Structure 1
């Protein structure tokens, strides 16, 4: 339900949250998007930023370029991209799972596991900034760390 996936964003009060839920319900009721058609959903209740994110992800995947997805809005764009072309998932990394209650549902729908789970909801790409450090560290280890054989660890008797 709308209530189950609509969160407080950066900290709205109960009255504003109630209004936010009603605005979403009204938008769905008036525009009647077909949930199985990502283009229909996007054109009827999506924003230009979500469309741009979806397009960027599709283009990146078409060129075999990985993308790091941040919070709720960028994950909404990622879900649209995934629904249009499921192979885009192969190029997505989820930076983190935000405190937004709907974010977990979006990640699960795509099948992404977040790199970090720090109860963040700051926005502004902070999750990506932190996750990139983990990704870069992992790449450095992959490229530069000696294998057990190279480090003469394999076969040692202890």
Structure 2
């Protein structure tokens, strides 16, 4: 059954990637579905995480062949909405600019060549600038941060318009 489910997930992923340009490695213990309006992938993983990926998002897992939760998830481009059940897996989302550490929450990570933006819908997320040292920032619901070269990261309460525009990319 696991082999059939994995093969079906790969077929769905291949069809979706061909149509939308997504580049995602899927762990064997995650089910993949598609959602529309706007188009996105939804990964529902046995280790307590649901990840919604924009059609163009590029995400990779540290060990997609493992049955356990990944320690690191790499998001190279595009946006991902991450829902983590409290008390379950706590992987870090690593981007070219930052690392977001899960604390049992719902949040969005958006990666462009210039910066990484993190916005917290519910719960808490710790965000550290990649390769910069210093203390991580703690974001709570309604907070966001932009991290990238030439930016001085600071926790900000995002305007409703900015938060709504980001969440609309996930039909929220």
Query: Aligning the two structures, in what range does the TM-score lie when normalised by the shorter sequence?
Result: under 0.3
TM-score by length of 1: 0.27
Higher strand share: 2
Which protein is bigger by CA-based radius of gyration? 1
